[in-house]
Structure 1
């Protein structure tokens, strides 16, 4: 699959140039002797080499790369430009280098200059079992804030390996996936795009439909065309800062949990908030509620923030709370607060005593809510996590449905078309009126709320893998899926 990436940068004459790159998606089965990127250069003589192997690995010093970039910056003007280019460089045992492939389909003068400078730079060869070996490494050039910079882009070989087969516990459902061809699937990884890491467990879409993609190796924004990193040039963080959680509030402010701190990003910049005087435990989730409150879950309770007012909910303030270890919370259309904990769920309604479910005849008896969605008819859908998980496919999990009349329905892989019971993300698609579920073993699930269940994974679709972390949607209906194998975008054909 190919993706077109357009970079805009001014030339040395001041004229704005358009640099269009087609990014090729490569998941090699063996990590040796192959060109990783679409644009190949047939000048290198080595036929056998490994990819980013050895100890130590092949490298070019950061000082040398900085000098190379200084030469480029003196020649070109990058005002108002942004984007990135990646080059695969073969480093021979002698230390001589040769660019094998890159991501610029236009073969622009800028790319030609970078290739010439990379080939003429001083490199150190990889060493394997005491012997120098031929190895290819990647160098990424980023254009931002009027300058170009470069760094070695090390490859996680485990992440590069194709995912194994998904696990489907449901043996009675045949997944024909009739809706699959109505979608366009596009995927990105850190090896074929500026994505900072393949794995993201938290992402959010803001009011301008920009995706904020958080990883353990940096935060980036994606506007549908270009990835723009959040780094030391535009934030208090570096491009490698680990970002655990991110969400967007009703005022379009971005809230992130970074380095044990709570950060808020607005047009005025970044602010830091200190919640340690309320709760010392790390934040596990930041949840936006429909009434404007932000809910910060921790192992010692939940911090509720509304208009700079802070309230702490735990067993001390709510004795009926099953546990202070809060894992999820949700405010429904009736303004009822649902709180999931490690030992069960509680429902808090105005002027009523809290309702617990540990002894109830409901799907929540032996499970706690871990996610929630709601349709136009008032049906509530909760993903469940067992409070006493005894098996990889626990029948206490699945999806609990609370109908407007107060009756419950429990959907599992034994009585429905769910491929497996453990759901990692749940989202109601108001454009198609379907439910999307992410699982950690079976991929993505599409449920039409009637009888049709579809399952998309790496074995039967263009999805990059089967381990799904989060599913979010923008205002136009575009769906973004964070996985263990990269970022996936799903768009309905004919709507863009």
Structure 2
């Protein structure tokens, strides 16, 4: 506590022999609920305000986890809880359910693969899950490298292994993200590497909006990044005459523009205006970028 004293919490109400339970990582949600994984008793949810203890384990009526060996639980930007186990993935649709429901039930994410319904991360030994600023999930595994999936899990954006990336090992121990730069750090059993991601945490205002590179020179073939954004900000890009060439809504603090007019063709050399407005329309920001072909 803040006064220098210690406080203990007993899990005997949900675990028969707590001393024989191996506790792992903990994640704390917006309600102050502590979600703690165990390798032999599934997932424990604890909220001290109501002295609420609940356990999710295998079985349809007791949590629907694919294994009692839970390794990581991550709260995403929509207050969903993503749970990684030694035999796959489950999602609790809302962390509020610990406070409002008698029983907690998780569900798999079903995707279409080759026109067949498949369970996302089926039978995969999941070692870590990290949520980026755009609510994508970075998922580390014990022997299959790293996956980056979309906010709802329906799209696998990247799957990095030793065969298609500089990963030194397919065994992932830990993943962490620099929320300011979007850089993703991946620790494996044979070393650490980083990936230059673009999803950053949303800012509290538009005072630090920044555009780079600027100017865009002829030899540059990448995208333009606009960072320092509010979440759900509207971004409109026009040429100097006011013709709209691109429009999007931010997810997190950064967006990219491929310098095309809505994906049809590369825009010509010139100065382009970038208009940024908050979701409520109260706060706005205008930036310029020069493109040299």
After superposition, the C-alpha distances for 1:422-476 in whole angstroms (9 at most, x for unaligned) are 11111011132200111122x22111127xxxxxxxxxxxxxxxxxxxxxxxxxx
State the distance in 2 between where 1:410 and 1:364 align: 12
Shift of 1:332: 0.9
1:336 aligns with 2:85: no
1:305 aligns with 2:57: no
- Cα distance change of structure 1 residues 368 and 345 upon mapping to structure 2, 3 Å threshold: farther
**Normalising to structure 2: TM-score of the pair?**
0.53
Aligned to 1:425: 174
State the distance in 1 between where 2:119 and 2:10 align: 39
Describe how 1:80-479 pairs up with structure 2 within 5 A: 265-279=1-15, 280=17, 281-291=20-30, 292-298=32-38, 299-306=40-47, 307=49, 308-316=51-59, 317-318=61-62, 320-350=64-94, 354-356=106-108, 361=118, 364-385=121-142, 394=143, 397-404=144-151, 406-408=154-156, 409-441=158-190, 443-449=191-197
Contact 2:56 2:63 in 1 (8 A): no
Shift of 1:342: 2.4
- Cα distance change of structure 1 residues 377 and 341 upon mapping to structure 2, 3 Å threshold: closer
- Cα distance change of structure 1 residues 277 and 404 upon mapping to structure 2, 3 Å threshold: closer
State the distance in 1 between where 2:147 and 2:120 align: 6
State the distance in 2 between where 1:438 and 1:285 align: 18
Shift of 1:400: 1.3
Counterpart of 2:162 in 1: which secondary structure? coil
Rg larger for: 1
After superposition, the C-alpha distances for 1:379-427 in whole angstroms (9 at most, x for unaligned) are 2111123xxxxxxxx3xx2111112473113221112221211111110
Shift of 1:268: 4.0
Contact 2:87 2:126 in 1 (8 A): no
Aligned to 1:177: none
Shift of 1:319: 5.3
After superposition, the C-alpha distances for 1:25-55 in whole angstroms (9 at most, x for unaligned) are xxxxxxxxxxxxxxxxxxxxxxxxxxxxxxx
Counterpart of 2:62 in 1: which secondary structure? coil
**Normalising to structure 1: TM-score of the pair?**
0.32
Segments of structure 2 that go 5 or more residues without pairing to the other structure are 98-103, 112-116, 199-293
Shift of 1:271: 1.4
State the distance in 2 between where 1:445 and 1:354 align: 33
State the distance in 1 between where 2:2 and 2:22 align: 21
After superposition, the C-alpha distances for 1:183-217 in whole angstroms (9 at most, x for unaligned) are xxxxxxxxxxxxxxxxxxxxxxxxxxxxxxxxxxx
Shift of 1:283: 3.1
State the distance in 1 between where 2:108 and 2:119 align: 11
Counterpart of 2:185 in 1: which secondary structure? strand
After superposition, the C-alpha distances for 1:126-171 in whole angstroms (9 at most, x for unaligned) are xxxxxxxxxxxxxxxxxxxxxxxxxxxxxxxxxxxxxxxxxxxxxx
State the distance in 1 between where 2:65 and 2:12 align: 22
Matched residue pairs, number? 175
Contact 1:314 1:321 in 2 (8 A): yes
State the distance in 1 between where 2:119 and 2:65 align: 18
Shift of 1:358: 9.1
> Whose relative contact order is higher, 1 or 2, with alpha carbons under 8 Å and at least 6 apart?
1
After superposition, the C-alpha distances for 1:262-287 in whole angstroms (9 at most, x for unaligned) are xxx44241112221332124233141
Counterpart of 1:271 in 2: which secondary structure? coil
Contact 2:86 2:126 in 1 (8 A): no
Shift of 1:328: 1.7
Shift of 1:362: 6.4
